[in-house]
Amino acid sequence: EISKIEIAGPGFINFYLSREFFTESINEVLKEKENWGKNNLLTGEKVMVEYTQPNPFKPFHIGHLMSNAIGESISRIVEFSGAKTIRANYQGDVGPHVAKAIYGLIKFGMPDESKSVSEQAQYIGECYSKGSNLYDTDENAKKEIDILNKKIYDKSDDEINKIYDWGRKVTLEAFEEIYKLLGTKFNHYFFESEMAVKGKKVVRENTGNVFEESDGAIIFHGEKYDKKLHTRVFINSQGLPTYETKEIGLTITKFEKENPNISIVTTAIEQAEYMKVVQKAISLMHPDLESKMLHVTHGMMRLATGKMSSRKGNVIT
């Protein structure tokens, strides 16, 4: 199978495959057709793959398209290796981005109801970008958006609840149109609003042994367990759960619902260190889950001019 081997400078060895190897490989591909590469490595295993992760109230852009392609590829490889594959999508339906979008809708008006779902979703995305810009540049808008964010979490204002329910429904419907085009069917949709409640309860129950109180917030000292880890806030001083806490709620929910042999999460490389801290905290509460959590990172899609940001409104939808 190997025609020759050459040392190619310090640290590199080149292996040259023979023509016969390629001829036999092509014969095998033609013979096996769509079953070529199929194997039984994961037969009897249950694997959950979480990917795509667009947020309601934000536009679905080409970065999400890349995330979908990577997650769908991992799902199909796992499936091709004999595993029962469960596709999951985790979406942020609460948080500052929602408050910014709703602030934009209140300030600039609701879209024309005669427009298509995707056009209405695009308008919501534009309102998010405008709201975000005001949050960064206008102190009064910032205060109003912070109050709005709390009301959304508490569901304490009927008018805001109506806008929220409508905007969430519209953007999720627009996402479904895209999944249909891509041929992706998710078995589970997980939402931050639900995971926040569960995660907060778990963090509070484990404060004192895993988590610690600090200046009115609840934190986790990752470096106590591994010097490569760092400290992160899990519940802020306002009593609101952070992404970290929602991630705990999500992980525990996944294992309660499906109890997979492996739970794979795909995210951009930017979240690698953050996920290590979260997984460490989970492993201290549930040592049985440590070997079942797998985080797969990928690169960030950038424009020639730099980073894409739906906040700045420079994304390609």
List, for residues 45-82, the tens digit of each pLDDT value.
999 999 999 999 999 999 999 999 999 999 999 999 99
So what's the pLDDT on residue 269?
94
| pLDDT band (50, 70, 90) for residue 161 | very high
Number of H helices, E strands in the chain: 9, 12
CA distance 28 to 33: 8
pTM to 2 decimals?
0.88
The residue behind tokens 């960064």 is 136
The chain-wide mean pLDDT, for the chain, equals 95
Residue 123 near residue 111, CB atoms below 8 Å: yes
**pLDDT, mean of residues 8-25:** 96
Tell me which DSSP letter residue 183 carries.
T
Q: Tokens standing for 114?
A: 């005669």
Q: Distances from the Cα of 9 to the Cαs of 6, 16, 76, 156, in angstroms?
A: 9, 16, 38, 67
Cross-strand pairs, 85 = 47
- Three-state secondary structure string covering 35-93: HCCCCCCCCCCEEEEECCCCCCCCCCCHHHHHHHHHHHHHHHHHHHCCCEEEEEEEECC
CA distance 49 to 75: 6
The residue behind tokens 């102190």 is 139
Q: 41-54 burial string, b = 16+ CB within 10 Å, else e?
A: ebeeebbbbbbbbb
CA distance 229 to 234: 15
CA distance 204 to 108: 39
So what's the pLDDT on residue 93?
95
| pLDDT band (50, 70, 90) for residue 289 | very high
Q: Distances from the Cα of 209 to the Cαs of 49, 127, 157, 175, 214, in angstroms?
A: 31, 43, 37, 41, 14
**pLDDT, mean of residues 82-100:** 96
Collect all residues with Cβ–Cβ distance below 8 Å to 164 and sequence separation of at least 6: 98, 102, 152
**Is the CA virtual torsion 168, 169, 171, 177 positive or negative?**
positive
CA distance 9 to 38: 37
| pLDDT band (50, 70, 90) for residue 171 | very high
So what's the pLDDT on residue 240?
86
Cross-strand pairs, 14 = 6
So what's the pLDDT on residue 306?
87
So what's the pLDDT on residue 315?
86
Q: At what angle do helices 158-182 and 117-137 cross, to 10 degrees?
A: 120
| Euclidean distance between the first and the last CA atom of the chain, given in angstroms as a whole number | 46
Dihedral, 203, 296, 191, 202 alpha carbons, nearest 10:
-10
